[in-house]
Amino acid sequence: MAEETIFSKIIRQEIPTPLLYQDDLVTAFRDISPQAKSHILIIPNKLIPTVNDITEDDELTIGRMFSVARKLAKEEGINEDGYRLIMNCNKHGGQEVYHIHMHLVGGEPLGKMLSI
């Protein structure tokens, strides 16, 4: 089993964090170091260390992450102008917390690339 992360504690609210969304599969909250006007993290409640560790059993959870991203983008008012969804994988991909998470960023022009 993978090691617990700071995200596991946020999911259980052991680290009090205002949640934007939570259900039985995923949790969403604002990034503490936003890289754009709107920067939200969407994470599975199940600890999956990297994208390489996703299995067929996780397909519903991964799909839910995208559905929640769409819902939150609309709530943030960034769905019409556009936004970016980013998932980093492993060291060279820029992953810092080994609990997969999707960055939902927008609210301003992002340019060609965004370093998160």
- Mean pLDDT across 81-99: 95
Which one has a higher pLDDT value, 74 or 2?
A: 74
| Within a domain: 85 | yes
| Within a domain: 114 | no
| Within a domain: 13 | yes
- What's the number of domains the chain is made of? 1
The helix/strand/coil state of 83 is strand
| Within a domain: 86 | yes
99 is catalytic: no
What distances in angstroms separate CA 63 from CA 40, 56, 72, one per listed residue? 17, 11, 14
Single pTM value for the model: 0.93
| Within a domain: 1 | no
Residue 54 lies in domain: 6-106
Tokens matching residue 93? 């991909």
In this structure, the number of other CB atoms found within 10 A of the CB of residue 105 comes to: 22
pLDDT (tens digit per residue) in 14-65: 999 999 999 999 999 999 999 999 999 999 999 999 999 999 999 999 999 9
Residue of 39, 92, 99, 101 with catalytic role: 101
| Within a domain: 66 | yes
Check whether 106 has a pLDDT greater than 60.
yes
CATH code of the domain containing 20: 3.30.428.10
